[in-house]
Structure 1
Amino acid sequence: MTWHVAEEDVRAYARGELAPPALWSADTHLARCAECRARLARLADPAALAAGWDRLDAELDAPRRGLLETLLVRFGVADHTARLLAATPVLRRSWLGAVTAVLLLTVLATHSTRVTASPTFFLTLAPLLPLAGVALAYGPVLDPTYEMTVVAPLHGFRLLMIRTVAVLVAGLGLNGLATLALPAYGLGALAWLLPALALTATGLALTPRLGPVLAPGAVGAGWAVLLLVAHERTHGGTLAPFTAAGQGVAAAVAALAAGLLYLARDRFDTRTPGPRPRPLA
C-alpha cells in the first residue's frame, strides 16, 4: 500500500462529512487497508458505530419481499397490508394455476357438449371457485400464519376482509377471463357472478359459528343440492339459479349475508373452531 487516507479525510469520513469523489476513494481504500480502518475505528464515535451495526443487522434480518408483495407496495398498498396479502395461501402460483386449469377444462367441456342456451356446466362450477378460495385464505387449517394473526394486535375481521378482497379479485378475474372464452352465450355466460357472491358471503357469514372449513363446505353442499333440485324441475332448460328470478334471489342472499357478516364482525377476534394449524415450515 503506497498511500493512506489523509488524517483530515479520515476524521471527515468518521463524521459523515466527506463528500465525493474523496468519499469514493476513501471507501475503496478502507476496504483494503487494515491500518486506515484501525485509524477510523479510533476516531469514530462508539455510539454511532453501534447504531450503524444495529441498522445493518436490521437490514440483514428483514424478510425479503416477494414479487407479489413488491408489486402491491409499488401500487401504493401499505407495507403491513402487502405482507398480509402476500402471505395468503391461495394467492400462490400453485392455487392460481390449478384454478386456471379447472376453468380451462370446464370451458372446453362446455364447448364440446353445448346442448342448451346456457353454459350450465360452467355456471355450476364457477361460483364454487371463489368460495373455495376464500375458505382457504383464513383459518387454522391451511393458513401458516394463523397462530400469529390470533395473537397479533390486528382485528380478525379486517384480516379476513383484506384476504377476501384479494382472493375475490383473483378468482373473479379468472372466472371473467374464462367467460370471455364463451362468447356464443352472450350475457348468459355471466350468470355465475351473483351466485358466486352469494355463496361466498354466506360462507363468510357462517364462519364464526361453523368454522372456516365446515361453513364453506355446507354452503357448497347446499349449492349442489339446489342445482340437483333445479335440474329435476327444469328437464334440460336453463336452471332456476341462472334465470332472471334466480339472479334476483342470489343478489338478495348476497346482501343479507353481507349484513349478517358485518353484524358478526367482532366474533372473528376469537379463535375460530377447527383443527389445529399445520406447523410452520
Structure 2
Amino acid sequence: MSWHVAKDDLRAYVRGELAPPALWSADTHLAACADCRAVLTEVGDPVALAESWERLDAELDAPRPGLLESLLVRIGVADHTARLLTAAPVLRRSWLLAIAAVLLMTVAAAYSAQSGSSPTLFLVLAPLLPLAGVALSYGPSLDPTYEMAVVSPLHGFRLLMIRTVAVLSVGLLLNGLATLALPAYGLRALAWLLPALALTATGLALTARLGPVLAPALVGGTWIALLSVAHATAARDETLAPFTAAGQGVAGAVAALAAGLLYLVRDRFDSSSAHVPFGGFSDGGVV
C-alpha cells in the first residue's frame, strides 16, 4: 500500500476522537493493513485500544432495522417499541402467507357453498386467527425474543399489549380484506368481528392464570364446542346463534367483560416465578 494512516490520526482513533470521514477511512484501512495495526498497538493505550475495537464490533454486530421497523420509527413510534413490534414471531412472512392462504380457501369455500345463506366456514374460522396470533406472539416456548423481553425494564402488561395491537392490526386487516371478497353476504360477512374481539380478550385475561398456551387453547376449544352445539340445534340454512343479533350482543358483552378483567389482572404479567407449567403466569406474574 502507498498510503497509511498518520500516527496522529491513529492516536486520535484510539482515544475515540477521530471524526468521520477520517474515522471511516481508518477503520477500512486498518482491517486490511497489518503495518498500521502494528503501529496502532505502539502509539495507543492497550485499554483504550481494546475499548475502541469493542465499540467497532458492537457497531458492526448491531442489527439493521427492517423495512417495517424503519416505517414505524418514521411515523413516530419509539425505536425500542418498533423493535418489539417487528420482533413478534407472527409478523413474519411465513405466518402472514399462511393466514392469507387460509382466508383465501375459506372465501373460496363460501363461494362454492350451495346454500348461500351465510358464509359459515369463514365466520367460524376468522375469529380464531387473531386469537392464535396473540398466542404465538408471547410466551417462552413460542417467542424467540421472550427472554430478552422478560429481563428488559418494560412492564410485562405493556409488552403484551404492544404485541397484541400488532397482531390484531394485521389479523383484522387480513380478515377485513377477505370480507370484502364476500360482497354478496353484505353485513353478515362482518359477523366475525365481535366474536374475534371476545375470543382474543378472553384468551388474554385467562393467560394471567393459565399461561400463554393453555388459555388460548381452552378459549378456542370452547368456541368450537359452542358452534358445534349451535350447528346441531339449528335448522337447515339457519344462521348460527353466535352470528345473530342476540349472539353479537353477547359477544360484545363478553369482550367488554374480558377487557375489564384483563385490566384488573395486569400486574400479574410482572415478577418472575420458576414453578409455573408451560412457562406461563403465576399469581406473582410471568416466567
TM-score class, shorter-chain normalisation, is: 0.7 to 0.9
**Post-superposition shift, 1:19?**
10
Residues 1:115 and 2:115 aligned together: yes
Please give the alpha-carbon distance, in whole angstroms, between the structure 1 residues aligned to 2:178 and 2:238.
22
Q: Contact between 1:140 and 1:274, CA under 8 Å: does it hold in 2?
A: no
Task: Please give the alpha-carbon distance, in whole angstroms, between the structure 2 residues aligned to 1:191 and 1:19.
Answer: 59
Number of the residue aligned with 2:265: 264
Distance, in Å, in 2 between the alignment partners of 1:151 and 1:17 is 35
What pairs with 1:243-254 in structure 2 (closer than 5 Å)? Answer: 243-254=244-255
Determine if contact 1:141/1:274 at 8 Å carries over to the other structure. Answer: no
- What SS does the corresponding residue of 1:118 show, helix, strand or coil? coil
Query: How many percent of aligned residue pairs carry the same amino acid?
Result: 70
1:103 aligns with 2:106: no
Q: SS in structure 1 opposite 2:217?
A: helix
TM-score, structure 1 length as denominator? 0.81
Structure 1 CA distance for aligned equivalents of residues 150 and 132 of structure 2: 22
Deviating beyond 4 angstroms after TM superposition, the runs of 4 or more aligned structure 1 residues are 1-5, 9-20, 30-52
- Residue of structure 2 equivalent to 1:155: 155
1:274 counterpart residue number: 277
Q: Indicate whether 1:67 and 2:70 are aligned.
A: no
* CA distance, structure 2, for counterparts of residue 19 and residue 133 of structure 1: 45
Q: Secondary structure at 2:72's aligned position in 1?
A: helix
User: Which range moved further: 73-82 or 118-127?
Assistant: 73-82
Q: Is the 8 A contact 1:131 1:199 kept in 2?
A: yes
Instruction: Give how far 1:51 is off.
Output: 6.0
Does the C-alpha gap of structure 1 residues 2 and 78 become closer, same or farther in structure 2, counting only changes over 3 Å? closer
Q: 1:143 to 1:38 in 2, by over 3 A?
A: closer
2:88 corresponds to: 88
Counterpart in 1 of 2:182? Answer: 182
Q: Do the aligned residues in 1 keep the contact of 2:211 with 2:278 (CA within 8 Å)?
A: no
Q: Deviations over 1:154-206 (max 9, x none)?
A: 21111111101001111111101110110111111111001000000001111
Does the 8 A contact of 1:212 with 1:274 survive in 2? no
Aligned pairs for 1:209-220 (under 5 A) are 209-220=209-220
Offset at 1:49? 6.1
Alpha carbons of 1:55 and 1:249: their partners in 2 closer, same or farther (altered >3 Å)? same
Contact 1:119 1:189 (C-alpha < 8 Å) held by counterparts: yes
In the alignment, the residues of structure 2 paired with residue 135 and residue 18 of structure 1 have an alpha-carbon distance, to the nearest angstrom, of 47
Highest Rg: 1 or 2? 1
Structure 1: 5+ residue runs without aligned partners? none
Whole-Å separation in 2 of the counterparts to 1:211 and 1:36: 57
Secondary structure of the 2:277 match is coil
Q: Taking structure 1 as reference, are residues 78 and 39 closer, same or farther at Cα in structure 2, changes over 3 Å only?
A: same
Offset of 1:39 from its aligned partner?
8.2
The equivalent of 1:76 in structure 2 is 76
- Indicate the SS of the match to 2:212: coil
> TM-score under structure 2 normalisation?
0.80
Select between 194-203 and 81-90 the one with higher mean Cα deviation.
81-90
AA partner of residue 260 (structure 1): L
Q: Which amino acid aligns with 2:257?
A: L
2:242 aligns with: 241
More RCO (CA 8 Å, sep 6+): 1
C-alpha distance in structure 1 between counterparts of 2:210 and 2:82, whole Å: 29
Q: In the alignment, does 2:210 pair up with 1:207?
A: no
Q: How many residues align?
A: 271
Is the Cα–Cα contact under 8 Å of residues 126 and 175 in structure 1 kept in the other structure?
A: yes
1:116/1:237 contact within 8 Å kept: no
